């Protein structure tokens, strides 16, 4: 299992180390008025700082630097205050000036190291931390736990997890009652997949501070990684303690999704996305859940946002492309999936999804190329064999399609699609017994397949298994009552059984259904023509064509709604309302 994405804690606020009294550093001779004023301002700044009056301290230390810019103590104090006020970049500049003037200034070294670490410049912080650590060992006193923790964070940020863990252990040893430090140590263990050690530290953190939500989250994730019972309780506890924490909401939502609980993950990830509207990670995880819940249209803009933020992320591109395919937007999906394949040519999933887009676009040759390349990467992938069989069948290449579909069925006997297509191909090849066997397998797995029952009925008829044919065809008619073909096949079977009256009735039903289908097609053509006329401002022509459409099919909802729009253009509001109500009622009643 890969390392869980446990978020790193924000660095602790930079500490202002103790500073010497400025007057000690003044010249032995009688100080000038400027130096005396600088000394007074320095003392005042130190006093203000002891009261946590940062604004006053800032002004006093700024005055010191202006009066005696060559004195490093003023820059050191000013830099530390600026960092504490959140003006880190300015503070770092002052601290660097202090060290340039006096390399042995431990206070400036410490504050600059802490500032670098907090500002995300861990590589610059490490040499300073190392010097401070070496000096502390020489002087036989440990660095404060808060400093050791910052040292550990800098090591972790520069990809030195083992060294970071060692320093964080020292920090914990110096402050064993600090729940946050136990949680950070556990996070370092988790990032190295040392789950037992991580869980121990997270448990210690929750015991010391039961309301520390992040520790409960981390403990739940570590327990989940080890498949231990109770993991979900810890994750739920974390979310209950901090429902407004975007990081916890995201992690909790992801954990629910990983556990296959998309319905429960959905509101949590929606909350995470609302709490941090700028988070593409939350938007992406929400999109994946929406996609799995068949809410593809809602997922697409979120996936597009993730792809825009990280255009070289093949996984994101693959998921976006697949969502577009599910939304029948293969033309948009294909170039996105082509980019994904170019970025990760060894990813069978990206190639498979690109093949799906090509199949939707009827580019079967291109699909076959991608599927064969994918099968070299994943030769036992059932879906790849099925898709290749489907593409080959679509190219009328039954000889090559059948082995692929047989492989798909062998790899996943619980999937109904492969035996269904095999049944169709065997029937077309005149292998009726084989077709009967495969169609029966498919229909046992998925009985709700009207076309499948109709095909099986035709196969039984060819095999002269007439009672079985009647049963299959009647089931096809039950499932697809508007289809004329099963009625015609049933009529032929009934005629073979010497039931002419019943056969005639079925033929009559089929004829009526064919007329209905033809009239619906005529109505669709007339309605499309009417829509074009209305768009061109030809309202009278549009009304005539909408009425023509309704003469073919009085129950065609689109024609009623179009006629309502046209009548409204003429100001005939009552007639328009009547047509609109009729159209909406038909839409509501349609299956």
Which sequence spans correspond to the domains of the chain? Answer: 1-175, 327-512, 516-589
CB 67 within 8 A of CB 37: yes
Q: State how far the Cα of 44 lies from the Cα of 64, in Å rounded to an integer.
A: 10
Q: State how far the Cα of 376 lies from the Cα of 369, in Å rounded to an integer.
A: 11
For residue 581, the Cα-to-chain-centroid distance in whole angstroms is 41
CB 59 within 8 A of CB 90: no
- Give whole-number Cα distances, 24 to 21, 107, 222, 459, 493, in Å: 6, 16, 54, 105, 114
Which tokens hold the place of 253? 């939502």
Q: State how far the Cα of 65 lies from the Cα of 445, in Å rounded to an integer.
A: 83
52 CB burial (10 A radius; 0-12, 13-18, 19+): exposed
CATH superfamily of 327-512: Tetratricopeptide repeat domain (1.25.40.10)
Q: What is the dihedral of CA 188, 194, 197, 201, to 10 degrees?
A: 30
Q: Looking at the domain 1-175, which fold is it?
A: 1.25.40
CB atoms under 10 Å from CB of 577, counted, come to: 13
The DSSP secondary structure of 122-186, one letter per residue, reads: HHHHHHHHHHHHHHHHHTT-PPPHHHHHHHHHHHHHTT-HHHHHHHHHHHHHH-TT-HHHHHHHH
Tell me what pLDDT residue 30 has: 58
Q: State how far the Cα of 336 lies from the Cα of 322, in Å rounded to an integer.
A: 9
Tell me what pLDDT residue 591 has: 59
Ranges of residues in the chain with a pLDDT under 70 are 1-31, 590-591
| Nearest one of 130, 128, 138 to 98, comparing CA atoms | 128
What's the start-to-end Cα distance of the chain, in Å?
46
Which tokens hold the place of 511? 């004829």
474 CB burial (10 A radius; 0-12, 13-18, 19+): middle
The H-assigned helical ranges of 276-381 are 280-292, 296-309, 314-326, 330-343, 348-360, 364-377
For residue 498, the Cα-to-chain-centroid distance in whole angstroms is 61
Tell me what pLDDT residue 11 has: 36
Q: Is 52 left (phi over 0), alpha (psi -120 to 50) or beta?
A: left
Residue with tokens 């580019």: 363
Q: State how far the Cα of 509 lies from the Cα of 359, in Å rounded to an integer.
A: 36
Q: State how far the Cα of 18 lies from the Cα of 51, in Å rounded to an integer.
A: 14
CB 428 within 8 A of CB 398: yes
124 CB burial (10 A radius; 0-12, 13-18, 19+): middle
DSSP 3-state percent helix, strand, coil across the chain (nearest 5): 75, 0, 25
Q: If you ran DSSP here, which 8-state letter would residue 69 be given?
A: T
Residue 32 phi/psi, 5-degree rounding, is: -75, 165
Fold equal for 1-175 and 327-512: yes
Tell me what pLDDT residue 5 has: 38
CB 473 within 8 A of CB 490: yes
Domain 516-589: CATH architecture, name and number where available? Alpha Horseshoe (1.25)
- Give whole-number Cα distances, 173 to 149, 272, 406, in Å: 11, 35, 63
Classified as helix, coil or strand, 572 is coil
For 344, what's the count of Cα atoms within 13 Å in the CB-facing half-sphere?
Answer: 20
């Amino acid at each position: 299992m890969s390392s869980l994405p446990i978020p790193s804690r924000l660095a602790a606020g930079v500490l202002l180390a103790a500073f010497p009294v400025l007057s000690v550093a003044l010249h032995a001779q009688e100080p000038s008025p400027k130096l005396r004023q600088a000394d007074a301002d320095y003392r005042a700044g130190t006093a203000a700082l002891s009261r946590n009056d940062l604004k006053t301290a800032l002004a006093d230390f700024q005055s010191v630097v202006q009066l005696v810019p060559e004195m490093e103590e003023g820059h050191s104090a000013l830099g530390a205050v600026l960092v504490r006020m959140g003006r880190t970049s300015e503070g770092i500049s002052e601290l660097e000036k202090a060290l340039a003037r006096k390399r042995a200034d431990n206070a400036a070294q410490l504050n600059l190291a802490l500032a670098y670490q907090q500002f995300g410049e861990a590589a610059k912080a490490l040499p300073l931390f190392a010097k401070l650590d070496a000096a502390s060992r020489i002087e036989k006193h440990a660095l404060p736990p808060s400093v050791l923790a910052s040292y550990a964070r800098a090591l972790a940020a520069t990809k030195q997890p083992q060294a970071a863990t060692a320093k964080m252990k020292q920090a914990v040893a110096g402050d064993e009652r600090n729940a946050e430090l136990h949680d950070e140590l556990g996070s370092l263990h988790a990032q190295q997949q040392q789950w037992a050690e991580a869980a121990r530290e997270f448990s210690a953190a929750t015991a010391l501070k039961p309301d520390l939500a992040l520790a409960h989250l981390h403990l739940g994730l570590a327990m989940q990684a080890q498949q231990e019972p109770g993991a979900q309780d810890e994750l739920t506890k974390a979310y209950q303690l901090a429902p407004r924490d975007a990081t916890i909401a995201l992690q909790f939502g992801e954990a629910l999704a990983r556990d296959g609980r998309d319905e429960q993950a959905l509101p949590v990830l929606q909350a995470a996305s609302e709490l941090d509207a700028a988070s593409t990670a939350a938007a992406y995880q929400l999109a994946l859940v929406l996609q799995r819940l068949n809410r593809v249209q809602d997922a697409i803009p979120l996936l597009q946002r993730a792809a825009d933020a990280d255009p070289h992320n093949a996984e994101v591109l693959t998921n976006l492309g697949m969502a577009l395919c599910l939304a029948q937007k293969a033309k948009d999906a294909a170039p996105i999936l082509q980019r994904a394949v170019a970025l990760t040519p060894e990813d069978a999933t990206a190639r498979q999804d690109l093949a799906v887009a090509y199949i939707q676009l009827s580019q079967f040759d291109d699909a076959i190329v991608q599927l064969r390349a994918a099968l070299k990467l994943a030769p036992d992938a059932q879906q790849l064999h099925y898709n290749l069989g489907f593409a080959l069948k679509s190219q009328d290449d039954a000889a090559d399609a059948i082995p692929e579909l047989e492989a798909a069925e062998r790899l996943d006997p619980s999937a109904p699609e492969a035996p269904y297509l095999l049944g169709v191909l065997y029937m077309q090849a005149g292998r009726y017994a084989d077709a009967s066997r495969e169609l029966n397998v498919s229909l046992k797995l998925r009985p709700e397949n009207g076309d499948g029952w109709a095909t099986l009925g035709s196969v039984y008829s060819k095999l002269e298994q007439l009672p079985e044919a009647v049963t299959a065809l009647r089931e096809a008619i039950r499932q697809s009552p508007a289809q004329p073909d099963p009625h015609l096949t049933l009529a032929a079977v009934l005629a073979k059984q010497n039931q002419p009256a019943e056969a005639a009735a079925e033929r009559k039903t089929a004829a009526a259904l064919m007329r209905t289908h033809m009239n619906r097609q005529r109505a669709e053509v007339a309605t499309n023509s009417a829509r074009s006329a209305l768009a061109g401002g030809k309202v009278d022509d549009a009304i005539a064509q909408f009425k023509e459409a309704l003469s073919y099919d009085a129950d065609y909802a689109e024609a009623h709604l179009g006629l309502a729009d046209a009548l409204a253009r003429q100001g005939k509001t009552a007639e328009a309302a009547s047509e609109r109500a009729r159209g909406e009622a038909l839409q509501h009643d349609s299956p």
